Amino acid sequence: MKNRAEEFRDDLRARRTVRSYSERAIPEGVIEYCLEAALTAPSGANQQPWHFVVIRDPVIKKKIRTAAEAEERAFYSGRAPDEWLEALRSLGTDEHKPFLETAPVLIAVFAKNYEIRDSGQRRKNYYVQESVGISTGILITALHRCGLSMLTHTPSPMGFLNEILDRPVNERAYLLLVVGYASDDAVVPEIEKKKLSDVASFF
């Protein structure tokens, strides 16, 4: 058991967020299995308040890139407070998001605060943020274990995803996962993860 825990930790320690992708395609069926892994997540009252949209179509990817870059331009050139920009400086991010077109797959994750019954009535979902977060975490872990790279991208606001992907009003875009293989010239910033003793207490 301890060996399995250690191996799993070491495998996950090798994950890095990647912002530069090659166009190499992902083998067929892999994304589907990873999504099925994500669907096993625990959720409030087992309501499974999520929807995943897998985008491979270059025309849709282009639309998403154009809309996301418009939001990011507003973010970097005014909307973001200085303190936020300062926190991002070491990552070297800016409003240019070419990976939204080069990466072979984008997965838009939607959270459903309520369901719309056939009668039109609303049924509330519980612990939506927690549930969708857990499911997305499992998805990220599954993709990483397949040897894929990814980026958890959150252009803000993300309302344009409902429009482009034709999602109903009870769904809110939660994040956009960019998935593929790192380009040969991809670089990652020098960052460190906190140590266990910094973030965990044992009694």
What Cα–Cα distance (Å) separates residue 34 from each residue in 25, 44, 78, 141, 146? 16, 21, 38, 9, 9
Q: Is 88 in the site for ligand IYR (CB under 6 A)?
A: yes
Q: Among 48, 66, 93, 113, which residue interacts with ligand IYR (rule: CB under 6 A)?
A: 93
- What is the greatest pairwise CA distance in the chain? 54
Shortest reach from residue 87's CB to ligand IYR, in Å: 7
Helix (H, G, I), strand (E, B) or coil at 37: helix
CA distance linking residue 114 with residue 78, whole number of Å:
33
Stretch that binds ligand IYR, among 26-34, 39-47, 98-106, 151-159 (CB under 6 A): 151-159
Tell me how far, at minimum, the Cβ of 96 lies from ligand IYR, in Å: 9
Letters for 154-183 (x = contact with ligand IYR by CB under 6 A, - = none) are xxx---------------------------
Least Å distance, CB 152 to ligand IYR, is 8
Q: Cβ closer to ligand IYR: 95 or 130?
A: 95
Span of 40-48, 118-126, 148-156, 167-175 interacting with ligand IYR by CB under 6 A: 148-156
- Please report the DSSP string for 165-177 in residue order: HT--TTEEEEEEE
Residue 70 within binding range of ligand IYR, rule CB under 6 A: no
| CA 45 to chain CA mean position, Å | 24
Which CB atom, from 77 or from 154, has the smaller least distance to ligand IYR? 154
**Near ligand IYR by CB under 6 A: residue from 51, 63, 65, 153:** 153
Sign of CA dihedral 142, 143, 147, 150: negative
Whole-number Cα distances in Å, 128 to 22, 45, 113, 139, 157: 34, 10, 6, 16, 18
Judged by the rule CB under 6 A, the positions of this chain that interact with ligand IYR are 72, 75, 88, 91, 93, 153-156
